[in-house]
Amino acid sequence: MFRNRATKIIATLGPASTSEDVIEALHHAGADVFRLNFSHGSYEDHAARLTSIRRIEERCDHPIGVLLDLQGPKLRVSTFAGGSAELTAGAAFVFDRDPALGDATRVCLPHPEIFAVVSPGDVLLVNDGQLRFKVTATANDRIETEALVSGIISDRKGVNVPSAALPLPALSEKDKKDLAFGLDIGVDWVALSFVQRPEDVEEARALIGGRAKLMAKIEKPSALDCLDEIVALADGIMVARGDLGVELPPEEVPAIQKRIVRQCREAGKPVVVATQMLESMIKSPAPTRAEASDVATAVYDGVDAVMLSAESASGQYPVEAVAMMDRIIQRTEADPLQRTLMNAVATRHDATSTDAIGAAIQSVASVLSVAATITYTTLGATAFRVAHERPDSPILSLTPNRAVARQLALLWGVSSQETADAKSAEDMVEKASAAAKHVGCYQAGKPLIVVAGMPFGTPGSTNLLRVVWPE
C-alpha cells in the first residue's frame, strides 16, 4: 500500500477501535502505525489488537508499525469521603500523608517525592490543571496551600508539579512489566513517558536491549533543559502536548513545539506531534478549522508523523478522523510552500559515507526527475538518514528484516518492504525495479536512485548510490 503522502499517521486503539474490521478500516483510511496505550486496557486487550494488526498486515502485504506507549509514573491524590469535595478560591487546603478520607480542607497525597521537593511559592496542579494550589508552607508530611480557583476535587485525580524535577524514575514497576510484555508480543516502537533527564532514556534503552526503537516523550519542562542530550540518545521524539500543556502556560507550547521539531530535524531524528490534533472529532464528524490548521502546521514543519489519541481510541468517528487527517496532510503537502518551509531546516551531516550518500541524493534529484529513492538496509540506518534528507521523491526501503520494515513505517516518506538481500549489482537493480512497480511508485521514463552498501548485507556500510533507468 503506497501512500500518496510523506507524513505518517499514528492512530491510537481503544474501545472504539478494538474489532479487527475497524482496525483494518483505520489502516485503509490512512493509519500507518497503531499506538497501544498502556495507561488503559488489559494485556489481553493489547495482545488481541496486535494479533489483529498482524493479520491485517498479511492481507495487505504491507508492514504496519506498532507503538507501545508506557504510562509512566502517575502522581494522584487519594480518596474523599463521598468521592469528592467542593473547594473555594482563597480557602486553605492541605495535602498530607494521613490515609484518612479527604474533605474540603485536606486530602492524602501518597507520594513522598513531592513533599521532598516543593517549597513555598510553588504551584500544585490537580486534574490536568483545572485546580491550582499555591504552596504557603511545607513540612515533612504536610503541604499547606491556598486554592487559587474554585471547583470540585475528586478521588484519584492526577497531580502535576511543574516547578520541580521530581526524583522519580521514568519507568515505574508497572512500566517495566508492561515493557517486558510488549517486547514479548513484538511491538516495534516504545514511547517512554515523562522523560526528565538523559538517564531515563539510557535506562529504558538498556531494558529494551535492541528489540524495539525507543521514542522519548517530551512532556516535562525539566526535559527541555537537557533536550539536546535526550534527542541524541533516543531513536525518536514525541511532542506530547497534553501534559506539556498542563505544566506550562498554553502560550508557551507552540514555541516549544517548534523548538523540539527543529532540533529533531537538524539531528536527523524522527519527530511526532501528538495530542488534541482533531479533538472535536471525538464527538463531531468534522474538525474545527483551527484543528485542521494545527495538523497542517506540523506538516509544514516537516514532522515525521502526527498522532490521533482519543479521536481514534474512544471517539464516535475513529475512521473519519483518520481519513480527515489523511486529507489534510495530502492537501498541505500539495502546497508548493510546504516544501519551501520544510527545507528551511536542514539536517546536520556527520563525516560518514551514509551521510555523504544522503546529501548526494538531493543533488541528483535536483538534476533528474526521480521516480523514487530505493534503499537497501539491514538495520534501518540508511532509511533513517535518507528520510531525514526529505527528498522530493518517494522512499522505498528494502530490508531482509521484517521487524525493521515495521519500524520504518513511522518515518517520513518511507514505504518499506521485506525482501532478501541483493546478491550482486545486477540483482540489486532487478529487485529495486520490481519493488518500485509492486508498491506503485514506478514511473516509465523516470530513473530510480538506488542506495546500498557493498558488500551487500553488511550493516553500516552504505557507500553506493546508483541511478537506474528501468526498462
Tens digit of pLDDT for each residue in 3-16?
A: 889 999 999 999 99
Residues assigned a catalytic role: 35, 76, 217, 275
- pLDDT per position as a tens digit, 397-406: 999 999 999 9
Residue with cell 507552540: 254
Q: Which residue has the cell 541524493?
A: 361
What integer pLDDT is reported at residue 461 of this predicted model?
A: 65
Tell me if residue 371 falls in helix, strand or coil: coil
Predicted local confidence at residue 353, as pLDDT: 76
Average pLDDT, integer, range 377-384: 89
pLDDT single digits (tens) 227-283? 999 999 999 999 999 888 888 888 999 999 999 999 999 999 999 999 999 999 999
Calculated CA dihedral for residues 303, 307, 190, 402, nearest 10 degrees: -80
- Say if CB 209 and CB 247 are below 8 A apart: no
The answer to whether residues 65 and 406 touch, using CB atoms and an 8 Å cutoff, is: yes
Give the containing element (helix H, strand E) for 96. strand 92-96
At 457 the pLDDT is 64
- Local structure of residue 421 (DSSP, 8 states): P
Over residues 405-449, the pLDDT tens digits come to 999 999 999 999 988 877 787 888 888 888 888 888 877 788 999
Q: Write the pLDDT tens digit of every residue in 141-197.
A: 999 999 999 999 999 898 988 877 788 888 999 999 999 999 999 999 999 999 999
DSSP secondary structure letter of residue 75:
-
Instruction: Tell me how far apart the terminal alpha carbons of the chain are, to the nearest angstrom.
Output: 23
Sign of the dihedral defined by the CA atoms of residues 180, 212, 346, 301, in that order: negative
112 upstream amide cis, omega within 30 of 0: no
Domains of the chain (ranges plus CATH)? 8-73+170-334 (3.20.20.60), 81-160 (2.40.33.10), 353-468 (3.40.1380.20)
Residue 214 pLDDT > 90: yes
Angstrom distance (rounded) from CA 73 to CA 95: 19
- Report the DSSP beta bridge partners of residue 400: none
| Average pLDDT for 359-372 | 83
Residue identified by cell 528551511 is: 344
